[in-house]
Amino acid sequence: MHLVIYGDFNCPFSALASERAARVQAARRATVEWRAVQRLPDLPSSGRLIDSKLAADLAEELDRIDGLLLDDERFPRRLPDVLPSTQPATAAFAAAADLRDTLRQLLFRAHWFDGLDISDPTILVRLGARPAYEPPVVTVEWQRAWEGLGRPVTPMMTWSDGNIRHGVEVLDHLAELLTFGTQRAAS
C-alpha cells in the first residue's frame, strides 16, 4: 500500500501523523510519501507569537491529541512560543530529496518537542537542512494538489485506490496499520 500524506509542520495533528507514518514504514505496512503544505500561507515570515487565544486553541488541540495517543506514544504538552511560517521549512524539506523522511521527523520534533522556531534559517541549518531561498516548484505542486482534494485540512491522506482521509481520520488509519499485526497475534 502506498500512502500520500499532506501535512504542515506547525500542525500538531500532522506531527503525530508523521510519527505514526515513520513507524508504519519501519514496520513495512505501507510506503509513505510525505508532502509538506502550508495550511496558513498568510502567516508573516517571522511567524505569529502565541497569544492567549491561540494558546487556548492549541491547548485544546493538544487535549484532543492526548485522547488519540496509543499506549506507546508520547506527545509534549508544552506550547511553542511562536506559530512559525512553515514556508522555509517546507522549502528546505522539498529540497532535501533523499533525506526527506529524516528531515521531516527532525522538523516536527524541533518545533513540537523542542520549541524551536523552524522558520529561522539558522535552526534549519542546525537540523541539517539547506535553506531554500526560492521555494522548489514541487512545493507549489503539493499545495495545489492538497487544495484540490476538497476540504483541505492537515493532515490529509490519499492512497493507491483513490480513498481520501482528513484530519483525525488519518491518525485513526495509521493507528489501524500499526496495531493490525498486534491484534492478529493476540487473537
The pLDDT value recorded for residue 51 is 92
Is the distance from CB of 39 to CB of 11 less than 8 angstroms? yes
CA dihedral defined by 117, 121, 122, 125, rounded to 10 degrees?
Answer: 110
pTM: 0.92
The pLDDT value recorded for residue 56 is 95
Provide the pLDDT confidence category of residue 182 given band limits of 50, 70 and 90.
low
The pLDDT value recorded for residue 156 is 97
Per DSSP, the three-state class of 157 is strand
The pLDDT value recorded for residue 138 is 94
Closest CA to 154 of 16, 1, 45, 3: 16
The pLDDT value recorded for residue 150 is 84
Counting every residue written for the chain, the total comes to 187
Q: What are the structural domains of the chain?
A: 2-186 (3.40.30.10)
Q: Is the pLDDT of residue 114 over 50?
A: yes
Q: How far is CA 36 from the centre of its chain?
A: 7
User: For 71-106, how does the pLDDT look when each residue is reduced to its tens digit (9 = 90+)?
Assistant: 999 998 888 888 999 999 999 999 998 899 999 999
Provide the pLDDT confidence category of residue 136 given band limits of 50, 70 and 90.
confident
